[in-house]
Amino acid sequence: MGVEVITHDVVIMGSGIAGLRAAVEIKRKYGDKIDLGIISKVQLMRSHSVAAEGGTGAVLYPEEGDSFALHAWDTIKGSDFLADQDAVWNFVKLMPEEILLLDHWGMPWSRREDGRIRQRPFGGHSFPRATMSADKVGHNEMRTLYNKLLQYDKWERYDEWFITNYVVENGIYKGLYAINMKDGKLYLFRSKAAIIATGGVGRLYAFTTYSHTATGDGMAMSFRAGIPIKDPEFVQFHPTGLVPNGILITEGARGEGGILLNNKRERFMARNDCAPHAKELASRDVVSRCIVKEYLEGRAFIDEETKMPYILLDLTHLGEERINERLPSIREISIRYDGIDPAEEPIPVFPAAHYHMGGIHTDIFYKVLDENGNWIKGLFAAGEASAASVHGANRLGSNSTAECLVSGKITGILAAEYAVSSELPEAPEPKRSKEEEDFVYGLLKRESGEPSYSIKHSLEETMMQHFYVYRDPNSMAEGLKKILELRNKFFTNAYVEDKGSIYNTDMIAAMETMNLLDNALIVAKSAMNREESRGAHARVDHPKRDDANWLKHTLAIRNGENDVRFSYWPVTINTWKPVERHY
């Protein structure tokens, strides 16, 4: 068929908050000097970032008691001391300007009675610094960034293009391959620099807050390209996914005063074995474990129809007026999807896969690194796809959209600077394009087999059963065996029924399933490898944190078709030494 070539100075993979923030920074600093392309597998404003709800963390009011040191300490403590402290300091110091920039660009932040931007409490934070736009923060940030980007020229959108792989040769980024869903053809994008902003891996799990598009494509592509994946064992489960569908019930609901109740109507988070001081506003890993413990000890409700466990999130005492003002989407979601009005009765919730602390190995400036710490020239990663590492073993709520903004700004500046001072690298070897064509269209040639969605469903259930909040070594071994069986089934028997070229979503779904299988292998092997409990990674056979042996980052690197080898990276500790966490 032949591969057509498209050329830009900089290409951004992904159009969520991180990708759009990078695009805005490139244009506002360099204008028409940079020819920019933004590639998204969905329509630009359909990126998963629109689903973020509760807040964006930043120090806005030091005169009222907040400080960079407090934000940094909360973040590092929340990370269970696996965060790189230089990255955290960089992050907290850059965030206030991001809030004010968005404000100047038209972001509809909620306001206090004195007219200043409103912030609310979030779990693990010692000051109410979750900057809020009611409970529609992600959508409003996306809209604000996109409207700002429209002020500039010389950039092009590639909506509904699916990136299959990118090429690194001799430590240099050489380009990426993408399918245009509108014609089914494979294209080679060449550029001087590229930013990976493809989001997280949440669709590894059946019960998740993620959109169906969150299949971790950037992480899987990086793994196949030989790039290390940092700390992939750390998957965050948000304490309050709506039962039975997993839709996010923002931490802002607890920040506004919501309480968690078991089937005895006890406020269990107040017990000494949970978080007697912070209660519902402990860090997410702590709250999720306490909820699952209630279930394991027989104090959860069981949904009669789905047999799913749940506990109750009670907002009724907040009153209708406050719910309508600060949690309007949560009320709408609860009524629409569960038939429950939270102003009148509690909401059924349970921990759902929500965020991936791991990601593509980068330095504190989001430059993609190889195993030895060398920069892959021209390549950057931003947002949830990256691991700088600001979040370590557990992310605090409101720090995700914040890091998307900071990492987008940094990568936008550095990618543009690199592009204006560099030549277009040589194209990948011609045989590489032929290999990619064979790889992409090989699935279409298969005449029979098993649909990819069946394999994907089995994978999601496997991850829920064997790599959920609590992890048992025997169960994980069984789960890994199932993952390897599913990988074999996919590569030998996956079948794409649709043989057409235009909008072949069946083929795209198969490619996403392949990426999920790669990501499952990485997460599973890394979880089995880390023999301690830290943050979101809770091993029943190693219930304590082990700083003597495991105060280090995992680097997971491809080793053949079905294996992962491990290297390690030191944690930067320049301010606070690890201590035991209490909430």
What residues are annotated to the active site?
Answer: 238, 254
Helix 85-104 to helix 399-420 angle (10° resolution) is 90
The Cα 564–Cα 493 span in angstroms is: 23
> Length of the chain, please?
583
CA dihedral 148, 149, 154, 158 (to 10 degrees): -160
Q: What is the dihedral of CA 124, 125, 131, 133, to 10 degrees?
A: 30
Closest by alpha carbon to 186, among 364, 393, 432? Answer: 432
C-alpha 384/C-alpha 370 separation (Å) is 19
In one letter, which amino acid is 312?
A: L
481 neighbors 473 (Cβ within 8 angstroms):
no
Q: What is the 3-state secondary structure (H, E, C) of 527-560?
A: HHHCCCCECCEEECCCCCCCHHHHCEEEEEEECC
d(CA 319, CA 344): 9
- What is the distance between the alpha carbons of residues 467 and 284, in angstroms, rounded to a whole number? 17
Residues 88, 85: Cα–Cα separation, whole Å: 5
203 and 526 Cβ atoms separated by less than 8 Å: no
DSSP 16: S
d(CA 283, CA 467): 20
Distance of CA 138 to the CA centre of its chain: 13
Q: What is d(CA 115, CA 173) in angstroms, rounded to the nearest whole number?
A: 47
First to last CA, the chain: 60
Separation between Cα atoms, residue 305 and residue 348, nearest integer Å: 13
- Tokens linked to 21: 């923030």
β-strands 56-57, 130-131 pairing: antiparallel
